[in-house]
Amino acid sequence: MLKLDEVDALFDNESLVLKLAEIEPLFDNESLVLKLVEVDALFDNESLVLKLAEIELLSDNEPLVLKLAEVEALFDNEPLVLKLDDVEALFDNEPLVLKLVEVEPLSDNEPLVLKLAEVEPLSDNESLVLKLAEVDALFDNDPLVLKLDDVEVLSDNDPLVLKLDDVEVLSDNESLVLKLPEVETLFDNEPLVLKLAEVEALFDNEPLVLKLAEVEPLFDNDPLVLKLAEVEPLFDNEPLVLKLDEVEPLSDNESLVLKLDEVDALFDNDPLVLKLDEIEPLFDNESLVLKLVEVDALFDNESLVLKLAEIELLSDKEPLVLKLADVEALFDNEPLVLKLDDVDALFDRELLVDVEIDAEVDSDA
C-alpha cells in the first residue's frame, strides 16, 4: 500500500512515470488499485492511455465488463489505463465483481488501478466481498474477515496494505484478529500479540505497507531507491515493520541503504525488532552496516535484544562489529546478556571480543 505525493519509476523493460496523490491497490494475484492525480505511462511492449466513463470487456480467460465514455488506447501489445464510473468484472479463473467510482489500471501483466465506492469480488479459490466502508472477506484457503474504512493493497506477488478501524482475520493456518487502535494476533504456528496505533500490512508471502512522501525506484533488476515518511511491513515468512523518514536501498543483488527514524521488524524465522534513528545496510550477500539508537531483536533460535547508539555490522558470513550504548542479548542456543558502553564484537560463531565494557553474561544453554 502506497500513499505518495510523487512517484518516478524508470524501468528497463517498462519505462513508467507516475505522479499520484494516492495509490490504493487491491490484488487477487496482481490486481492493483490506484488513485492518481496524473499518470504518464510509457511502455516498451504496452504503451496505453485510456480515459473512459464506462467499459465493457468480455474475454475467455478473464471475462470483463466495462462501460466507458471515452477510450484512447495505443497498443503495442496490451497497454491499458482506465478511469471508469462503473466496472463489473467476472472471471473464469478469478471471478470478480466490482462497483467503482473510478478505475485506473496500469499493468505489466495484470496491473489494475481502482477508485471504488464499493467492491465485491467473488472467486472459486478466493471468494472475497469488499465494501470500502466495510470489508468482509471469506477465503477458502485463507479465511479472512475485515472491517475497514480504507483498504490499500500493493503487491509484487500478493502484497497487501490495509488501513482499518477494525480488522478481524481468521485463517486455517494463521488465525488473526486485529483492531487498529489495538492489534491482537494469534497464530497456529507463531502466536503473536500486537498493540499498534496503525497496522498496514497483512501478507501471504511478502506483504508490505508503505506511506511515503516521495518514492523514486530505479531498477536494473531489483535496485530500489525510496524516500518515505512511514513504512510498516508485516510478513508471514519475514514479517517486517518499518517507520522511516527516508529509505534509500540500492542493490546489485540485494545491496540496501536505509535511513529511518524507527524500525519495527517481527520475523517468523528470524524475528527482529528495531528502533533506530538511522540504518544503513550494504549487502554483497549478507554484509550489513547499521547505525541505530535502539534495537530490540527477538529470535527463535537466536533471540536477541539490543539497545545501541550505533551498530556497524560487516560480515562475510556472520562477522559482527558493534558499537553500542546498551546491549541486552538473550540467545536460545547461545544465551548472552550484555550491557556495554562500547563493544567491538567479531564473531565466527561464538567468538566475542569486547573492549572496556560492563558485561553481564547469562549462559544457560
pLDDT in tens, 256-311: 222 222 233 322 222 233 333 333 332 222 223 332 223 333 222 222 333 223 33
Q: Specify if 37 maps to a domain.
A: no
The average pLDDT across 28-39 equals 25
Per-residue CA distances from 257 to 40, 189, 283, 316 (Å) = 28, 32, 9, 18
Task: Yes or no: say if 144 and 138 are a contact pair by the CB < 8 Å rule.
Answer: yes
Q: Hey, CA dihedral for 147, 148, 149, 155, is it positive or negative?
A: negative
Q: Grid coordinates in use for 127?
A: 471468494
Which residues fall within 8 angstroms of residue 228, CB to CB, at 6 or more apart?
A: 210, 211, 212, 213, 214, 215, 244, 245, 246, 247
Q: What letter represents residue 164's amino acid?
A: L
Q: Specify if 107 maps to a domain.
A: no
The average pLDDT across 116-120 equals 31
pLDDT for residue 76: 25
**Residue carrying the nine cell digits 517468523:** 268
| Cα gap 254→262, rounded to integer Å | 21
Q: Specify if 149 maps to a domain.
A: no
Q: Specify if 141 maps to a domain.
A: no
Q: Specify if 166 maps to a domain.
A: no
pLDDT for residue 207: 26
pLDDT classification of 6: cutoffs 50, 70, 90: very low
**Domain range spanning residue 312?**
212-365
- Residues 120-159 have pLDDT tens digits of 333 222 222 222 222 222 222 222 222 222 333 322 222 2
Q: Specify if 169 maps to a domain.
A: no
Task: Spell out a b/e string for 116-155, using b for 16 or more CB atoms within 10 Å of the CB, else e.
Answer: beebebebeebebbbbbeebebebeebbbbbbbebbbbbb
Q: Specify if 188 maps to a domain.
A: no
Q: Specify if 291 maps to a domain.
A: yes
- Residues 165-181 have pLDDT tens digits of 333 333 322 222 222 22
Alpha helices, DSSP H only, in 221-293? Answer: none
Tell me how many domains the chain contains: 1
